[in-house]
Amino acid sequence: MSVGGYDNRLRPAQPPTPAHDAFAIHRAEVADGISLAYVREGIGGYPLLLIHGYPETKRIWWRNIEPLVAAGYEVIVPDLRGHGDSDLSADDTYDLVTYSRDLHTLVHDVLGHETCGVVGGDVGGVVAVDIAQRFEGFVDGLCFFDTVPPMIFGDYAAAGIDLGSIRAIGDGPTGDYRRRQGAEPDALAAELATPALRRAWVAQMYGPRLWASPGTFTDADIDFMTEPWADEARLRAGWAVYQLGNGRIAAEFPILDRKVDVPTLLFYGADDQVVGPDFLHCCEVAFTNRVGPLVLAGAGHFLQWERADVFNPTVAVFFAGLAALATNGKVS
């Protein structure tokens, strides 16, 4: 099978996927009535916070945890509130800045890290940028991929980027999910009336909707990824960010209106049908201290899973330099 000129049949074997119960799940309160579930492995190493998006939970990082721990990192992998094993919000508070504040509380206040590296794609990438901009000095470096770049449209236009060509996330060839989850959540939830139907909705993102490069998720992988979404309340929580442009109110806006000066490693999955290739040009403008964007053949939107063989060592090397600088007090 060839996608984008890359023969997926020749893709190297990926790191083995640990068992579903391979990692201990911890819990910590980060706000009144809200506890996050998280994996924490490699305690004592330089802290790396891995932030999932939608339709993901912490499970999307299962192939990355052990290799990064082996490279010397303390790997912190939470479920966002309302996702996976974390608590639902009693007052339906789900937005990007709330996620950002929850995670800062977890890593800084609960786990006691003054600084860290942050890795995120999809919703997690936007949250990662907000954390870096909102909490000055907390983030030594970022890894950012396959998501919405900072909204600095004047800078993009000045760089010669055609603003009309920029594809909003979810506007790809199978992007009706964005409209339905954002503008018609009640009707959609009524259609997805059973756990099996809810899981099937999410399974499409790993299969026929082509978020992933074909063949990168087996049936067993998809079963693992969709299991947390069987619950209606959690599925609705995952849709919340799509509703922010359709009447859902957020108390604060994420800080996406400026360039990012924090050292950043950028990836893009060549087969991503969610985020368009304009991501590459936008990131070249938005991130002033960058490595990449590095385009990963044979990967789509979930590139940390699909090409873990490239992702893991590249992330490890990138953050090793930043960790050394942070230890010596030289990261600005």
Cα separation, 313 vs 85, whole angstroms: 28
Annotated domain spans of the chain: 23-170+252-327
Which residue, 270, 266, 259, 282, is CA-closest to 318?
A: 266
pLDDT band at 3 (very low <50, low <70, confident <90, very high): low
- The per-residue pLDDT for 4 is 60
Cα separation, 159 vs 263, whole angstroms: 21
Which residue, 128, 141, 138, is CA-closest to 97?
A: 128
Spell out the residues 6+ positions from residue 133 whose beta carbon is closer than 8 angstroms to its own.
255, 258, 260
Q: What are 53's two structure tokens? A: 């998006």
Q: Which of 1-5, 49-53, 187-191, 293-297 has the lowest mean pLDDT?
A: 1-5
Q: How far is CA 204 from CA 179, 200, 207, in A?
A: 16, 6, 5
Top pLDDT among 277 and 75 is at 75
Q: What is the mean pLDDT of residues 246-264?
A: 93
Q: What is the pLDDT of residues 172-183, one digit of tens each?
A: 555 688 889 999
pLDDT score of 241 more than 70: yes
Q: What is the mean pLDDT of residues 237-251?
A: 91
Q: What is the mean pLDDT of residues 244-270?
A: 93
pLDDT score of 142 more than 70: yes
pLDDT score of 1 more than 60: no
Q: Are 290 and 264 in contact (CB under 8 A)?
A: yes
pLDDT score of 127 more than 70: yes
C-alpha 202 chain-centroid distance: 16
pLDDT band at 332 (very low <50, low <70, confident <90, very high): very low
Cα separation, 5 vs 14, whole angstroms: 20
pLDDT score of 169 more than 90: no
Give bridge partners of residue 268 from the DSSP assignment. Answer: 295
* % residues pLDDT > 70 (the chain): 95
pLDDT band at 286 (very low <50, low <70, confident <90, very high): very high
Strands 2-3 and 6-7: antiparallel
C-alpha 122 chain-centroid distance: 4
Q: What are 51's two structure tokens? A: 């932030």
Q: What is the pLDDT of residues 49-95, one digit of tens each?
A: 999 999 999 999 999 999 999 999 999 999 999 999 999 999 999 99
Cα separation, 296 vs 23, whole angstroms: 28
Spell out the residues 6+ positions from residue 101 whose beta carbon is closer than 8 angstroms to its own.
30, 31
Q: Enter the CATH code of domain 23-170+252-327.
A: 3.40.50.1820
- The per-residue pLDDT for 159 is 93
pLDDT score of 210 more than 90: no
pLDDT score of 331 more than 70: no
- The per-residue pLDDT for 174 is 57
Cα separation, 263 vs 101, whole angstroms: 21
Top pLDDT among 312 and 32 is at 312
Q: What is the pLDDT of residues 90-115, one digit of tens each?
A: 999 999 999 999 999 999 999 999 99
